Structure 1
């Protein structure tokens, strides 16, 4: 590239010597054409790696120094220690072989074809025969092989505006970035292809990741993901160029304005080359010098950190995201949570997972990922026990799908506000999700989770988690699992420490299951044999308070308290789980405090109920107590006692299984038909708010709230 920029021969001789040495080495090695699915050449068992670190690089060197070689420039031969003529025939053979490997090796239904496509396209364009180039380009643009997906097939995952590639987020981002690069490369090579015009939703994916993030700009942890991601401005520069090449004025204006605003705000500096990646990735860095527009100017400044939507649905991950953003110190005081679970590449057998945000941090965390192919990664981090979920019959498991981690996708039953909507209430939102634990090793189980965000004012709020579980297994039991970062977990009842008894054997049965590493066909479900220091109190029906305290997140300690109301016979256990890679440092390197609730029998008519509230040291909890509301033994919701700014409030949060269900209480003055509602009363028992999240009507004494026409929600503040 320096030769191209300066036309100084010394750079050409350096590049030519490197190229010639590699080609001579490769021609002496066996091409493993008859080997396994991922067999290669210099890396006999890993074409996926070789395609990125060698296959994608050699044709770039060849293209840039071709004028020197074609004019008779010689190369240094290591064997003879002399200058010699370049062997074009052998070089073309190497290039053709890498085209063959990309088309005939690899895994079709994954991100592999995209990761291998840079090698495929680079080597096609380095062929000396123009007819051969014309022949092979369609194998990237629209012709699939049994081992290599075309751009057309990749684009099937980007049908709607805002779609992202269906894998955990870092793989998803790479797919979009590599694909936009290759679309830009080919549209520059042959403008008649118009790939950017055909598939505009692929660069459009870069606008979606921001909306998935927490108020502190961290990402939800799903599958083999990470907590934080840097914006790759090189991808945005390519997206801008692609828009220009295809006369996409809308995207051109957006990416120009975004980059311009990022520069003005000091977030992006075009005066320095992006960092070189030395991992398994093609070498894209010089494109800043070769492709990028000279100057980015926009008359329109845009907010590059706009307010994120209150709710979102990410279908492939079975994810419902809910937010309630505070106007006062939003990073600290906002609420955000998600419920998710699904089967996808690099996904986990998580069941119906949940994360909770508070005080500027993700506190209720997913376990994350470990080191691939290790025991703890495959038999803990990828399985149910590493997630905030419910395990049924001690045997929730996966089957089929990606590396036998297939589970049913979590379904969205109800959500208010609906994905992308504003919502009827500034203070309330909820989602109801369902999951069928079909591959349970004992008997299938049905799960349903209602998660509500209840905002009390601009600094206070809490989450209410209601989890139903049932199975046809005669001796069914269900374990509610919750992990939270912290230095310690204390479990109390009525302000007294609960007497927990050592219980080493409780979760150890899964350690005896077979771990079949060949083809990753068998795991030690549900993975909870990695729990340590297990202590339990059995057969309890009283209210419990489980308080997690983290003293190393800043100058003041941060606590998350879980209030577990009385009225369900449970065993409560305190364990230390393996460290959570998704936890805020230093808690990503410490054992993760965790509690479990076990109920023998179904937990459907009377489900698990937990109210979660976080505070910073020096603050007081607003939620004082939580009581179950039952009618003929059927759960109808909770009564929550709140103390806010010295004033006592009462909230009735009503939750029913079906939209036609009714709850009437003359004593309480409540008449409700529907699935979810909230009544907030002051200390005189006068309503201050009524929220109909999903239902037909909500009455409190003489106060009546009816769903709007064409809707099943409504809200009123008094």
Structure 2
């Protein structure tokens, strides 16, 4: 084993793109070599995943633990049909590869190039990837059983690939991401080819070194393995990882399994010592080290700043490599240095809706499977570094998951032939023999009332019901930011109700398609406001950059309990800087109001203003359903076809990843508009196919703001509950000519299940001296009538007073709830200094919030 001095300070220029390192890098490498303990002339193998000394303990685990025995039998079953010492049988799995022979068969066959024009097919790629996974499994079975038939299986696959690769062109001179078998996609090749070959080599090395033969397709005979050729392959993949990647993204992490595996497959200890720092703490122009990646996990609870599937991969792959290297060289102590990376898995849980779905941001997904392998590796990493807190956290959660029957350790993960390294046998090799918990924990513990995800500009709010929490709880988010795989969303919102995310984000389409580029990634696909018909993006990732949504005020503050279990709110702001007509200021206040344990609603108040002399603003809201109906005082509103509205964007230029057809609303269909009016509206979305009973979301829009109300069918939302993820998405849009700052867009949303009644009966705007001050909400719940005065002001020193009602409030957000006798039920200060109703008073003191219940 070789140890890096963890206290060493690294200061070096970035490595050049040439094969020869610059003088400064050579100097650093000389220093590196002096910090390693080189104790052997060659590496003892296997040494990457396991060592020979660990074998008895693993065999004992298989013998004594039913789950481990089951994994062993499944692994054996996978490769038994292709493991043989018989020459003819050894040929069969190799012939299933998409081999490319020269006309006279004078040289070994090659394999197709992939992801290029006239390259290999998807089916051929699956066969290529499957064979390597078979080779890894065969290598593991050889390690466990010491039976040469398994070694021969793995060695034959290894030899066939190294022979083929050496006859194929390495695209060193190509652009960023150029590669070898995948000429234009090292990111893909690193995961499906580069990461697997070294693992096979490491396991079958003892067989090969002791004289074991490999099947040579060119000569149709068994021959000695070419070690020098294999070493050349490993060095090439190391070079590609260091010189063909992309910084400021998840690429370095996705490519690092290839970098580390191929480094550890080198037979010269000095070469290992030279290259390993490029993963641990030395950056190149095209590859970021773990030290740099860890900067995105500065605080406990941080997650990698991309849409969630990419974020989760970064955490899982990093934990894997940290665990691998802390096992390989305990002096590294990577798990001790970067404890916040495994801690990220707690944050993912804290983001979820009550039905365990995820908020839809960027190019993400609605659902993700639990990362049990990553949690097992996190437990092992914590044990390697004596992190008692994480040992307890991961042990308790895993043990409780096993006891609850939601996690079964006794089955191998189903194989995937997509773009991912293959780690599955580590379930058997690494996972702890027994998971002992210090206490029984709830596998679904309560989530925090609020959470802030800074890079996404996201504020999450929850009001959780005790009675059927999946159905009756409220949860919403407001978000918007610029990050890789993020969208130009503006200040987006999603709303949860009746067990589903009802007010949905548009999600993502198929990458590189016009609709994905020009709708799903743009403002119109989100529950946002579009200013001047021209809200847009610029710069940052593929020119989709927008300003981050800023949290102005939130109660409860992120991670805190809150002063009331009935009320919460947040006010956020967004600067629409890249608007193609004139920048606009946006401010959104979203409140969650529980009327009882089973009834509640959302109040959304959106201010917008722009300096443009003909400013106008459009409030866009999408909700799953079969249709949306627009009524006013229970009468249908006359909506007329309006085919030209929103179509100007379709005539603007589109250059992929550069210029977009902002704001994307030209994809709206069946456009119908009502005449301009300041009357009240009710927009009701009905979904009849979510279960046995219909579910409805009603939006109450109070009178008092001139709007042109339009209904449209938006493109399907891929994150919607089935079957609505395959149907057009009902949407309404409100347009107001002029600013909506002094008199904002205001909507109260309430969802019900068929057979229930709406609790909210009416919503009215409150004005003082002509200035908007909030809303009056009339409700009926549990046989009693309630009146709520919800006050919203811009500043904490602003005062609202209604002498006739007896209300006096100094602050930004407050709720006063009265019964049908105009008697006080409760008072809430979300942010403010003091609140008074007649003889009752509430002061927030230094906390800026407070609650009083009568």
Q: TM-score range by the shorter chain?
A: over 0.9
Matched, 1:134 2:134: no
In structure 1, what is the Cα distance between the partners aligned to 2:592 and 2:474?
Answer: 7
User: 2:794·2:812 contact (CA, 8 Å) conserved in 1?
Assistant: yes
TM-score in terms of structure 2 length: 0.83
Alignment of 1:300-699 (within 5 A): 300-517=439-656, 520-699=657-836
2:805 aligns to what SS in structure 1? coil
Note the residue ranges of structure 1 that are not aligned, 5 or more in a row. none
In structure 2, what is the Cα distance between the partners aligned to 1:296 and 1:419?
Answer: 32
The superposition leaves residues 602-643 of structure 1 with CA deviations (integer Å, 9 ceiling, x where unpaired) of 010000000000000000001111110112221100011111
In structure 1, what is the Cα distance between the partners aligned to 2:638 and 2:817?
Answer: 35
- TM-aligned CA deviation for residue 274 of structure 1: 2.0
- TM-aligned CA deviation for residue 276 of structure 1: 2.0
Deviates more, 1:141-150 or 1:300-309: 300-309
State the Cα RMSD in Å.
Answer: 0.8
In structure 2, what is the Cα distance between the partners aligned to 1:488 and 1:110?
Answer: 40
2:830 aligns to what SS in structure 1? strand
Partner of 1:714: 850
User: 1:613·1:621 contact (CA, 8 Å) conserved in 2?
Assistant: yes
- TM-aligned CA deviation for residue 13 of structure 1: 1.4
Partner of 1:204: 343
In structure 1, what is the Cα distance between the partners aligned to 2:676 and 2:431?
Answer: 67
2:765 aligns to what SS in structure 1? strand
1:248 to 387, 390, 395: 387
The superposition leaves residues 479-515 of structure 1 with CA deviations (integer Å, 9 ceiling, x where unpaired) of 0000000011100001110000000110111111111
> How many residues get paired?
715
- TM-aligned CA deviation for residue 275 of structure 1: 2.0
The superposition leaves residues 668-702 of structure 1 with CA deviations (integer Å, 9 ceiling, x where unpaired) of 22211110000111111111011111111112222
In structure 2, what is the Cα distance between the partners aligned to 1:696 and 1:295?
Answer: 55
Deviates more, 1:639-648 or 1:425-434: 639-648
User: 2:196·2:422 contact (CA, 8 Å) conserved in 1?
Assistant: yes
Structure 1 residue ranges (4+ consecutive) displaced by more than 4 angstroms after TM superposition: none
In structure 2, what is the Cα distance between the partners aligned to 1:538 and 1:657?
Answer: 31
2:666 aligns to what SS in structure 1? helix
Deviates more, 1:453-462 or 1:68-77: 68-77
The superposition leaves residues 526-578 of structure 1 with CA deviations (integer Å, 9 ceiling, x where unpaired) of 00000000000121110000000000111110000000000000000000000
The superposition leaves residues 167-186 of structure 1 with CA deviations (integer Å, 9 ceiling, x where unpaired) of 11111110000000000111
User: 1:650·1:681 contact (CA, 8 Å) conserved in 2?
Assistant: yes
Partner of 1:18: 157
Partner of 2:364: 225
2:722 aligns to what SS in structure 1? coil
- TM-aligned CA deviation for residue 337 of structure 1: 0.4
User: 2:765·2:775 contact (CA, 8 Å) conserved in 1?
Assistant: yes
Note the residue ranges of structure 2 that are not aligned, 5 or more in a row. 1-139
More strand by share: 1
> Computing the radius of gyration over CA atoms, which structure comes out larger, 1 or 2?
2
Deviates more, 1:617-626 or 1:271-280: 271-280
The superposition leaves residues 133-184 of structure 1 with CA deviations (integer Å, 9 ceiling, x where unpaired) of 0111100000000110000000001111111111111111100000000001
In structure 2, what is the Cα distance between the partners aligned to 1:516 and 1:59?
Answer: 41
In structure 2, what is the Cα distance between the partners aligned to 1:571 and 1:593?
Answer: 17
1:32 to 156, 171, 180: 171
User: 1:606·1:633 contact (CA, 8 Å) conserved in 2?
Assistant: no
Partner of 2:219: 80
In structure 2, what is the Cα distance between the partners aligned to 1:87 and 1:500?
Answer: 76
2:644 aligns to what SS in structure 1? coil
In structure 2, what is the Cα distance between the partners aligned to 1:253 and 1:698?
Answer: 45
In structure 2, what is the Cα distance between the partners aligned to 1:187 and 1:267?
Answer: 29
User: 1:26·1:42 contact (CA, 8 Å) conserved in 2?
Assistant: yes
User: 2:711·2:731 contact (CA, 8 Å) conserved in 1?
Assistant: yes
Partner of 2:52: none
1:279 aligns to what SS in structure 2? coil
Partner of 1:157: 296
1:8 to 143, 147, 157: 147
1:337 aligns to what SS in structure 2? strand
In structure 2, what is the Cα distance between the partners aligned to 1:675 and 1:275?
Answer: 53
